[in-house]
Amino acid sequence: MLFCHKLIFPVLIAILGSSRCRSEPVKPVKDTVKVINPGEANAIDSNQTPLKNMFGVNGYEWNFLENPAAPNNRNHIYEANMALIKSFSSVRHYLNWNKLESTEGNYTYNPTNNGSWYYDVIYSRCKQDGIMVLADLKNLPVWMMNTYPASEHDDENVPAPYGANRSLPASYIVQARTAFQFAARYGSNTGVNPSLVKVDGRPRWTNDPVNTVKIGLGLIKYIECGNENDRWWKGDKATQTPEEYAANMSAFYDGHKGTLGNNAGVKTADPGMVVVMGGLATADINYVQRMINWCKTNRGIKADGSINLCFDVINYHLYSNNGSVFTHKNATTGIAPELSGSAKVADDFVSLANGLKNKPEVWVTETGYDINQQSYQHAPPIGNKPALITQADWILRSSLMYARHGIKRLFFYQLFDATPNNPQQYSTSGLAEGTKLRPAGDYILQTNKLMGNYAYKGTINADPLVDRYQTAQNTIYVLTVPDQKGRTANYILDLGTASKAIIYTLRAGADVMSSRKVSTINGKLKVQVTETPVFIQAVLK
């Protein structure tokens, strides 16, 4: 989530002339797709990533717990919101460090001393409902921020005390210890030494529920270190070089290979927890390559010949628009994902990852579109489609595009609008509103119900796009015109020996797609394809 999301700092936009908030549009780059023959043996056939992994959403603890009718009662799930959250396969939880450690060395979770949030309640319910949680530990606690000069106070500063040598892993030991405590509690290792696990068990007032030590709850498998630590728009106090961030992550990952003590680092508490690199704002593979180089020099080579990396997952952010994050040139409008150059960026990241011996997964943990037409990240009306339907089309097509290009998980920004009706970029990107999903959320829910467990197996036509998804027994084709002007196209889909097919059509405001059974002509079906994906399954019996 870039600086521009932070509506409390609008004045800085005028100061940071090179920021993503002041720029000019550039020509978009169209997606290029490798087209395969239906029967072609292709490496993509080994892909087992289910499409549901492309249906994550960003959210906050208050999305789970805050009931408008009882806003101070935060120890129960608010079921109206939970019904919406269950439409998504995963949640990236923006977890503010200050919630866990509002005073130095004193850890609270259930409830937190800051805000009285109940994280055990959230994470337990997510596990119960089959929702994967990526906990993104981000921002500085107030007491660390206060080590900076008053003129430089910002909770997005580099997560080390003011004046620390940011090139040394030891400078990040405080954050590494917090990561250890979180992993010890919510990870799956029940053998953590209890003497190392701490909570602040003091009541804040009479009858205040107190925190108790818990170990190996098995509720969290994935944790992310920071958020956009390459945030150039905030200057040196908040921006880490690749080498500085690698040092930060090395401490966070395993206490810099255990050298920072037996109570520092995620892996020190739970070797099985997956550590995700903080999403990069610049989506720059060179930033990651420099982190890899730092790891090779400072963490060495493992016995299997792989570089001892300080992360398990590569992660970046990218919003599809007619600007360029690489040159800090801003956009004037969001554009369809296939026209944005996002596919080429994904290819570059996946190629980088696959060039490493351990082949880490690549995730995109932020993308999305606003509905306010004054935002430079807006989805516009197209023809007779209002902006909400364009947003829905482009959100779903983003999922399909990233699956097509080898990304393993995708999270949309975000569940609800940051500031409804606000023209500021990223303020109106919500996939739900009130107690209902927006069409974008409907499309995700419907597609997940139909084929969330299907995996992408190749593209057999480029325009219209015809993607093939499979399970062990079944195949579904997804057909889309990759454009943004209301264009349609006819396509003859070859379904082999099938005499019948089912055509599934997305519906705004519904939980499931509409469907109709049709006859083929010698196994071939003529389909009119639009910019809204359509789904076709052969009836083999």
How is the chain split into domains, by residue range?
89-276, 462-539
Q: What is the pLDDT of residue 33?
A: 81
Contacts of 85 (CB under 8 A, 6+ apart): 57, 59, 63, 64, 91, 131, 415
- Among residues 226, 225, 219, the alpha carbon closest in space to that of 132 is found at 219
Q: What is the pLDDT of residue 241?
A: 98
Q: What is the pTM of this model?
A: 0.94
Does residue 111 have a cis bond before it (omega within 30 degrees)? Answer: yes
**Lookup result for tokens 């945030």:** 231
DSSP codes, 39-97 = T---GGGG---BGGGG-EEEE-HHHHH-BTTBTT--SS--HHHHHHHTTSSEEEEEEEH
Q: What is the pLDDT of residue 45?
A: 66
Q: Are 43 and 32 spatial neighbours (Cβ–Cβ below 8 Å)? A: no
Q: What is the 3-state secondary structure (H, E, C) of 321-379?
A: ECCECCCCECCCCECCHHHCCHHHHHHHHHHHHHCCCCCCEEEEEECCCECCCCCCCEC
Contacts of 28 (CB under 8 A, 6+ apart): 322, 335, 339, 340, 341
In angstroms, what CA-CA distances link 365 with 92, 248, 274, 418, 421?
Answer: 8, 20, 15, 17, 24
What are the pLDDT tens digits along the chain (541 aa)? 543 443 333 333 322 232 333 233 334 456 778 887 655 544 456 789 999 999 999 999 999 999 999 998 999 999 999 999 999 999 999 999 999 999 999 999 999 999 999 999 999 999 999 999 999 999 999 999 999 999 999 999 999 999 999 999 999 999 999 999 999 999 999 999 999 999 999 999 999 999 999 999 999 999 999 999 999 999 999 999 999 999 999 999 999 999 999 999 999 999 999 999 999 999 999 999 999 999 999 999 999 999 999 999 999 999 999 998 888 888 999 999 999 999 999 999 999 999 999 999 999 999 999 999 999 999 999 999 999 999 999 999 999 999 999 999 999 999 999 999 999 999 999 999 999 999 999 999 999 999 999 999 999 999 999 999 999 889 999 999 999 999 999 999 999 999 999 999 999 999 999 999 999 999 999 999 999 999 999 998 7
Element spanning 461, H or E: strand 455-462
- Alpha-carbon gap, residue 198 to 350, rounded angstroms: 39
Q: Is 200 helix (H, G, I), strand (E, B) or coil?
A: coil
What topology is assigned to 462-539 in CATH?
A: Immunoglobulin-like (2.60.40)
Q: What is the pLDDT of residue 1?
A: 52
Backbone angles phi, psi at 274, to 5 degrees: -95, 125
Q: How far is it between the farthest Cα atoms of the chain?
A: 77
- Alpha-carbon gap, residue 288 to 355, rounded angstroms: 13
Does residue 464 have a cis bond before it (omega within 30 degrees)? Answer: yes
- Alpha-carbon gap, residue 285 to 230, rounded angstroms: 12
Q: What is the pLDDT of residue 22?
A: 28
- Alpha-carbon gap, residue 453 to 445, rounded angstroms: 13
Q: What is the pLDDT of residue 533?
A: 98
- Angle (CA) 103-114-414 rounded to 5° is 125
What is the β-pairing status of strands 455-462 and 465-470? antiparallel
Q: Are 441 and 86 spatial neighbours (Cβ–Cβ below 8 Å)? A: no
